[in-house]
Amino acid sequence: MPVSTPIPDRERYDPLTGRSFRDVATDPQLRITLNEVAAEKRAALADPGPPWKEWALRSALKWYIGLGLLIVDAWIAGFWLTTAAAWAMIPSLGGAVYLEYLVWEYLWYRPREGRKGHARAGRPAKWLHPVPYGRWTLEAELAQHGAAPPPPAEGPDPSEFL
């Protein structure tokens, strides 16, 4: 005959707090905390954030592609160090870093108002910024649909502090 497990008694004491389970269940501070958690859950469900694809293209892949490019640089440096031709590492790493920079700019370039140092005012140098907006940015998506890109974010101008 199986032995049945008794239902936990509400008058038992919690060994951590020294209070009975009935006291814990009726604790007003616990009720306030539970209400706050429920409100946070409702707020999270009401505004779930960006869709998965948008989050991946605009945030997550930056880290993974950056890590991949760092690995490629390490392979190039390791190849030239193992062939005992360390002098050839500098131009090949320089070329690889420039190509990686172009990939980064192609995917995530976001122009800022007031940026100085371009070859011509209003038109960046093509060898430095190959596209007007990075492919995986909000500005590129808006330009693709024919809308104007949003104005730059409000805040202090970094050039004022330099």
pLDDT in tens, 102-151: 998 888 888 775 454 444 555 557 777 778 788 888 788 888 787 766 66
Asked whether residue 40 falls in the same domain as residue 9, the answer is: yes
35/75 same-domain check: no
For residue 115, tell me if it sits in a domain.
yes
Domain count, the chain: 2
Considering the entire predicted model, what is its pTM?
A: 0.56
Q: Report the C-alpha gap between 147 and 142 in whole angstroms.
A: 5
Is the predicted pLDDT of residue 22 greater than 70, yes or no?
no
In a domain, 157, yes or no: no
Residue 64 lies in a domain: yes
Is residue 160, in this structure, part of any structural domain at all?
A: no
Least confident segment among 52-61, 75-84, 112-121, 151-160: 112-121
What is the crossing angle of helices 89-108 and 61-82, to 10°?
Answer: 170
Sequence length of the chain is 162
Q: Which amino acid is at 59?
A: S
**Residues 64 and 132 both lie in one domain:** yes
| Mean pLDDT within 37-42 | 90
Q: Do 77 and 99 belong together in one domain?
A: yes
Between 10 and 21, name the one with better pLDDT.
21
Closest CA to 70 of 60, 62, 58: 62
Phi, psi of 13 (to 5 degrees): -100, 140
Judged by DSSP in three states, 120 sits in: strand
pLDDT score, position 50: 85
150 with 139: CB under 8 angstroms? yes
CB atoms within 10 A of CB 140: 19
Q: Select the more confidently predicted residue: 129 or 19.
A: 129
Compute the distance between CA of residue 7 and CA of residue 27 in angstroms, rounded to an integer. 22
- Is residue 59 within 8 A of residue 108, CB to CB? The reply is no
In a domain, 161, yes or no: no
Domain containing 69 equals 52-152
Whether residue 66 sits in one domain with residue 122: yes
Least confident of 52-56, 93-97, 114-118: 114-118
Q: What is the pLDDT of residue 20?
A: 66
- Is 162 inside a domain boundary? no
